[in-house]
C-alpha cells in the first residue's frame, strides 16, 4: 500500500500534466483560428486534445485533493497556503467543468463564432492557469520553492471577500441560473 503523500504526488502530476496540456492546446487552437499558425488539421487536433486533457484533469483532481488533505500535517487546512490551494483548485475545477459542459451542449458551434470561441478558449486557459497556480502553491508548501517564485505571489494571505460582495456574487449567480432556465424553457417551447 502506498502512502497518501506518495499518492498525492502521483495524482497531482496527472492533474498538472493534463491541465498544462489543455492550456497549451487551447492557446494553439486560438493561434490557428487567428491565422498565426496556418494549419487546418491542427485546429481540429488542438480542439480535441484540449477538451480531452481537460476531462482527464477533472477526473484526476478529486484524487489529488483528497490525498492532499490526508497527507498534510495536522488538518487539511492548517495554513493559509493550503486554504489558497483549495480555493484555486476548486475555481479551476469549476471553470474546467463549465468549459466541457458548454462544448458538449453546443458542440462545434461554440467554436464557429469569434466571441463564443474566445470565451471558450479563455475559460479553458483560465482553468489551466488556476491548476498551475495550485501546483505552485503546493511546491511552496512542501519544498519552500516553486516555479512561479519570481512573481512573489502572496500564498500566505487568504483572500476573503466582505459579506456584501459575497452576497452580490451569490445573488448574481442565482439570477444567472434563473435566466438560463427561462431561456431554455422559451427555446424548448418555440421548437414544439
* Band of pLDDT at residue 67, cut at 50, 70 and 90: confident
Burial of 82 (0-12, 13-18, 19+ CB in 10 A): buried
How many other CB atoms are there within 10 angstroms of residue 138's CB atom? 23
Domain boundaries, the chain: 4-158, 161-192
Per residue in 124-153, pLDDT (tens digit) is: 999 998 888 888 877 777 777 777 776 776
What is the pTM assigned to this prediction? 0.76
DSSP one-letter code for 110: G
* pLDDT at residue 162, as a whole number: 60
40-71 and 114-143 are packed helices; what angle lies between their axes, rounded to 10 degrees? 30
* pLDDT at residue 91, as a whole number: 82
Amino acid at each position: 500500500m502506498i502512502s497518501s503523500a506518495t499518492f498525492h504526488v502521483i495524482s497531482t502530476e496527472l492533474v498538472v500534466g493534463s491541465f498544462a496540456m489543455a492550456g497549451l492546446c487551447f492557446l494553439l487552437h486560438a493561434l490557428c483560428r487567428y491565422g498565426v499558425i496556418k494549419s487546418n488539421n491542427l485546429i481540429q487536433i488542438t480542439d480535441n486534445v484540449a477538451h480531452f486533457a481537460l476531462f482527464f484533469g477533472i477526473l484526476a483532481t478529486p484524487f489529488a485533493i483528497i490525498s492532499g488533505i490526508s497527507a498534510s500535517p495536522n488538518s487539511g487546512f492548517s495554513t493559509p497556503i493550503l486554504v489558497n490551494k483549495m480555493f484555486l483548485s476548486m475555481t479551476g475545477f469549476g471553470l474546467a467543468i463549465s468549459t466541457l459542459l458548454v462544448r458538449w451542449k453546443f458542440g462545434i458551434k461554440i467554436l464557429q463564432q469569434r466571441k463564443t470561441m474566445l470565451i471558450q478558449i479563455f475559460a479553458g486557459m483560465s482553468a489551466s492557469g488556476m491548476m498551475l497556480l495550485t501546483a505552485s502553491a503546493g511546491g511552496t508548501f512542501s519544498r519552500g520553492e516553486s516555479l512561479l517564485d519570481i512573481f512573489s505571489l502572496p500564498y500566505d494571505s487568504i483572500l476573503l471577500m466582505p459579506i456584501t460582495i459575497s452576497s452580490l456574487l451569490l445573488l448574481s449567480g442565482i439570477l444567472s441560473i434563473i435566466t438560463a432556465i427561462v431561456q431554455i424553457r422559451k427555446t424548448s417551447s418555440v421548437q414544439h
